[in-house]
């Protein structure tokens, strides 16, 4: 089937200039990021590199008071001020934090009038047009640490701006969104250097860290070409020299040569999978979100933070420090890579989680005093704890949710070596910790947690800790132990498989209310509208409760979604609508899923498609109306649309399981199913007319036929392609 590629209408096109950084045209390659904005007086290119961090350690987290035992004691004694002092107040300081790289400003002497600006998704290129045939083109190379800009019709005056690390402090950090001025970090002024055709600087940071930015240019006739690079002390070599070498090489090869190389990578990216739906809003949003995923996630680079490679360029520290939030944000950011057939990009997350295990093992031993693996919920570049609301930053089940991504990669890739070398070891180590921390028993003799929570129910108040297992913690524990048993069996460790199955049986069942809905904790239903659907983890993403389980499961799912609708979206953020779309798709309610995605795209995204958390529409969809931008809502929305078109989570492939009845014409190519099958399908006139399946591994493809609804088992060999336009006879 033909791949449906993004068209110019799916990109960004503005006829008024972008005057604020968070509405800019985003470019990136996982390591370098850029934001193109401004009207030309000047035209601005905000620079970023994803390993630019202030990694100052948190003293409190290396003190004798910093233990799980002490945390439990203070909570029992009502010593809230001590809990705040040790666990939460450190997050209110400016560091640790992600930091920006600076800005290029292009000033045009003739002051040409702004005409239009556009971002084409197919080749990841930004263009800004001015009156008088002046045009600027910008791209960040797909695979090299360099960006390029070409101006035709005018030679700009260049200014390379250093972030105001050494400026005056007018706003101090408050924690959360209000992180305050960059100058709070107290860095010395940058060492600047320039010549006839270059500008650059070296900025010294904290803990011996430094980075360098180099900008060089060439001119011939009325065409001016510039290149920039950012290097850090994490590279092998002096940052200043490395950045200049990258720029000199790019200028020597030329703009067109690098653009062709860059464009080839993006052409191949877009060929990986495609879809076409009759809702143009959802179609465009999916392309924009898949574009941002390709720009933000690249193997070999750090994984996606809250803002990815687009750190704030307003003189302030990024919202929530631009950190790694593992209570939802990093996990949702990688939801679309599995069925979206971008496993390679998704591996940058798993590589990082694997590489930072030593720090997490150390933290687990120091803080909890227990064996196995857990992970801090708020973390820096090294996956070290940086603090915040104590109930979630020190959750006992964070590693369990992260382990779900190792499981998903194995299920979707069928990679036996990954299963043996990474998936099973990661799940096993997380299960060892869960077994240890749930050793205490409740009144019924079942496993429990001394401090259980459900993000972010009751915020950071003392009552955010419950005496019984929340459905959030319980679902993660039950899922982890069942999956660890499954993987142990898959690698031939039958005794271990039996052990983990036995431990799972020692947990209570999920708490269900009188109306059939999932509760937050036994005896407590969701009390009010809330942004985080943590109590529904068992439905999505974990799939412990599924429509295939029959009537009772369907009633539970329906009652839980009905409760969300009854309580309303007053206190939802944008990602709530994305997650709702995934939940509704899993419940096979295409109408609800499409409605949620449309609200997300039209009310909770800025004009450049960045998810901005609060409702920007003025229509009252949420009482949150602020605009800190984070990426997880975008990527969960992409996953939601894919869930509407293809599901395979119970070992059965379902085609168009959750689409609105009005969607008569729908198709997709090469979406990925569990078992390492690539699936394409076309629906015409309200009927499925063709299905194509390609097997990457030997195995049995179990398909719920879209023609007869019968379950078909198709034995396939690696590389085999099957085309169906009716059930095989």
Residue 172 has pLDDT above 90, yes or no: no
Residues 448 and 575 in one domain: no
Residues 503 and 523 in one domain: no
Residue 418 has pLDDT above 90, yes or no: yes
Mean pLDDT, range 524-528, rounded to an integer:
97
Residue 77 belongs to some domain of the structure: no
Q: Is the dihedral of CA 616, 620, 622, 626 positive or negative?
A: positive
Residues 505 and 519 in one domain: no
- Looking at every residue in the chain, the average pLDDT score rounds to 96
The phi and psi torsions of 537 (rounded to 5 degrees) equal -55, -35
CA dihedral 420, 424, 425, 426 (to 10 degrees): 130
Q: Residue 1: its pLDDT value, please?
A: 78
Residues 255 and 129 in one domain: yes
Residues 591 and 680 in one domain: no
Residues 503 and 556 in one domain: no
Residue 149 has pLDDT above 80, yes or no: yes
Residues 482 and 519 in one domain: no
Mean pLDDT, range 562-567, rounded to an integer:
98
Mean pLDDT, range 541-548, rounded to an integer:
97
Q: Extract the tokens encoding 304.
A: 């996606």
Tens-digit pLDDT profile for residues 655-702: 999 999 999 999 999 999 999 999 999 999 999 999 999 999 999 999
Percent of the chain with pLDDT over 70: 100
Residue 361's domain comprises 356-509
Q: Residue 174: its pLDDT value, please?
A: 73
Residue 321 belongs to some domain of the structure: no
Residue 341 has pLDDT above 70, yes or no: yes
Distance of alpha carbon 122 from alpha carbon 11, whole angstroms? 9
The residue out of 276, 294, 319 marking a domain boundary is 276
Residues 479 and 546 in one domain: no
CB 312 within 8 A of CB 305: no
Tens-digit pLDDT profile for residues 38-53: 988 899 999 999 999 9
C-alpha angle 195-201-205 in degrees, rounded to nearest 5 = 170
Residue 175 has pLDDT above 80, yes or no: no
Residue 317 belongs to some domain of the structure: no
Residue 173 has pLDDT above 90, yes or no: no
Q: Residue 167: its pLDDT value, please?
A: 83
Q: Residue 453 maps to which CATH number?
A: 1.50.10.10
Residue 121 belongs to some domain of the structure: yes
Residue 711 belongs to some domain of the structure: yes
Q: Extract the tokens encoding 566.
A: 């009854």
Q: Extract the tokens encoding 342.
A: 């971008």
Number of domains into which the chain is organized? 4
Distance of alpha carbon 122 from alpha carbon 120, whole angstroms? 6
Mean pLDDT, range 54-78, rounded to an integer:
97
Distance of alpha carbon 469 from alpha carbon 453, whole angstroms? 8
The residue out of 494, 509, 524 marking a domain boundary is 509
CB 103 within 8 A of CB 46: yes
CB 333 within 8 A of CB 348: no
The number of beta carbons lying within 10 Å of the beta carbon of residue 147 is 29
Q: Residue 729: its pLDDT value, please?
A: 66
Mean pLDDT, range 292-302, rounded to an integer:
97
The residue out of 224, 245, 276 marking a domain boundary is 276
Q: Residue 282: its pLDDT value, please?
A: 98
Q: Extract the tokens encoding 357.
A: 């295990």
Q: What is the pTM of this model?
A: 0.98
Residue 337 belongs to some domain of the structure: no
Distance of alpha carbon 1 from alpha carbon 11, whole angstroms? 24
The number of beta carbons lying within 10 Å of the beta carbon of residue 678 is 18
Distance of alpha carbon 344 from alpha carbon 323, whole angstroms? 23
What is the distance in angstroms between the CA of the first residue and the CA of the last residue of the chain? 23
Mean pLDDT, range 478-500, rounded to an integer:
98
Residues 125 and 217 in one domain: yes
Which carries the bigger pLDDT value, residue 112 or residue 212? 212
Q: Which residues contact 492 (CB under 8 A, 6 or more apart)?
A: none
Q: Residue 164 maps to which CATH number?
A: 2.70.98.50
Mean pLDDT, range 161-179, rounded to an integer:
84
Residue 90 belongs to some domain of the structure: no
Residue 322 belongs to some domain of the structure: no
Confidence of residue 133 (pLDDT cuts 50, 70, 90): confident
Mean pLDDT, range 164-174, rounded to an integer:
85
> Of the candidates 283, 308, 378, which has an alpha carbon nearest to the alpha carbon of residue 637?
283
Residue 316 has pLDDT above 90, yes or no: yes
Residues 423 and 490 in one domain: yes
Distance of alpha carbon 482 from alpha carbon 479, whole angstroms? 5
Q: Which residues contact 633 (CB under 8 A, 6 or more apart)?
A: 332, 573, 574, 575, 577, 578, 600, 604, 611, 613
Q: Could you tell me whether strands 274-276 and 666-673 are parallel, antiparallel, or unpaired per DSSP bridges?
A: antiparallel
Distance of alpha carbon 397 from alpha carbon 283, whole angstroms? 35
Q: Residue 52: its pLDDT value, please?
A: 98
Residues 493 and 520 in one domain: no
Residue 171 has pLDDT above 90, yes or no: no
Going through 172-272 in order, the beta strands assigned E by DSSP cover 191-195, 198-204, 210-220, 223-232
Mean pLDDT, range 422-438, rounded to an integer:
98
Residues 475 and 521 in one domain: no
Tens-digit pLDDT profile for residues 611-630: 999 999 999 999 999 999 99
Biggest CA pair distance of the chain: 83
């Amino acid at each position: 089937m033909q791949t449906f590629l993004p068209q110019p209408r799916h990109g960004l096109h503005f006829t008024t200039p972008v005057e604020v950084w968070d509405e800019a045209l985003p470019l990136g390659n996982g390591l370098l990021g850029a934001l193109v904005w401004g009207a030309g007086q000047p035209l601005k290119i905000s620079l970023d590199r994803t390993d630019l961090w202030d990694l100052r350690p948190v003293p409190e987290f290396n003190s004798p008071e910093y233990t799980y035992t002490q945390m439990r004691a203070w909570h029992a004694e009502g010593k809230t001020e001590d809990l705040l002092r040790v666990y939460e107040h450190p997050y209110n300081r400016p560091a640790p934090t992600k930091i920006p790289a600076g800005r290029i400003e292009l000033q045009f002497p003739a002051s040409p009038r702004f005409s239009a600006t556009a971002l084409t998704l197919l080749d990841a290129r930004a263009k800004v047009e001015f009156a008088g045939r002046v045009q600027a083109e910008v791209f960040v190379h797909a695979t090299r640490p360099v960006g390029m800009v070409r101006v035709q019709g005018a030679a700009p005056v260049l200014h390379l701006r250093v972030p105001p690390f050494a400026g005056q402090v007018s706003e101090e950090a408050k924690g959360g969104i209000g992180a305050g001025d960059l100058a709070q970090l107290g860095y010395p002024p940058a060492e600047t250097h320039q010549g006839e055709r270059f500008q650059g600087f070296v900025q010294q940071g904290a803990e011996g860290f430094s980075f360098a930015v180099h900008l060089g240019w060439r001119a011939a006739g009325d065409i001016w070409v510039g290149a920039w690079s950012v290097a850090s002390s994490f590279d092998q070599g002096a940052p200043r020299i490395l950045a200049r070498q990258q720029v000199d090489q790019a200028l020597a090869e030329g703009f067109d040569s690098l653009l062709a190389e860059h464009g080839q990578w993006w052409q191949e990216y877009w060929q990986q999978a495609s879809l076409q739906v009759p809702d143009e809003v959802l179609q465009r949003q999916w392309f924009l979100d898949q574009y941002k995923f390709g720009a933000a996630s690249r193997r070999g680079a750090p994984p996606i933070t809250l803002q990815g490679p687009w750190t704030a360029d307003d003189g302030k520290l990024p919202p929530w420090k631009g950190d790694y939030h593992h209570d939802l944000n990093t996990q949702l950011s990688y939801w679309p890579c599995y069925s979206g057939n971008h496993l390679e990009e998704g591996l940058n997350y798993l590589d990082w989680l694997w590489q930072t295990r030593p720090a997490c093992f150390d933290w687990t031993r120091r803080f909890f005093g227990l064996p196995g693996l857990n992970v801090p919920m708020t973390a820096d570049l090294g996956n070290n704890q940086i603090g915040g609301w104590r109930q979630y930053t020190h959750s006992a089940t964070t590693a369990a949710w992260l382990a779900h991504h190792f499981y998903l990669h194995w299920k979707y890739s069928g990679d036996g070596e990954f299963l043996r070398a990474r998936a099973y070891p990661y799940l096993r180590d997380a299960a060892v910790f869960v077994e240890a921390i749930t050793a205490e028993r409740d009144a019924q003799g079942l496993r429990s947690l001394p401090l259980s929570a459900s993000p972010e129910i009751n915020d950071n108040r003392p009552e955010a800790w419950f005496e019984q297992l929340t459905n959030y913690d319980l679902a993660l524990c039950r899922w982890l132990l069942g999956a660890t048993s499954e993987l142990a069996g898959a690698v031939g460790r039958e005794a271990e498989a039996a052990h983990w199955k036995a431990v799972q049986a020692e947990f209570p069942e999920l708490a269900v209310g009188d109306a059939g809905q999932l509760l937050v904790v036994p005896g407590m239903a969701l009390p009010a509208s809330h942004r985080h659907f943590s109590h529904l983890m068992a439905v999505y993403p974990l799939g412990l409760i599924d429509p295939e389980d029959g009537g009772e499961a369907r009633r539970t799912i329906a009652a839980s979604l009905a409760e969300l609708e009854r309580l309303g979206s007053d206190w939802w953020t944008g990602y709530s609508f994305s997650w709702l779309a995934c939940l509704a798709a899993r419940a096979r309610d295409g109408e609800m899923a499409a409605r949620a995605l449309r609200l997300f795209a039209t009310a909770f995204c800025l004009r450049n498609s960045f998810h901005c958390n609060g409702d920007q529409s003025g229509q009252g969809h949420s009482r949150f109306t602020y605009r800190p931008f984070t990426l997880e809502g975008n990527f969960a929305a992409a996953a939601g649309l894919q869930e509407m078109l293809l599901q395979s989570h119970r070992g059965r492939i379902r085609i168009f399981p959750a689409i609105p009845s009005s969607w008569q014409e729908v198709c997709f190519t090469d979406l990925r199913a569990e078992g390492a099958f690539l699936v394409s399908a076309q629906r015409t006139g309200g009927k499925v007319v063709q299905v194509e399946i390609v097997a990457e591994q030997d195995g049995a493809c179990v398909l719920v036929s879209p023609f007869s609804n019968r379950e078909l088992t198709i034995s396939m060999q690696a590389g085999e392609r099957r085309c169906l336009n009716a059930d095989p006879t």
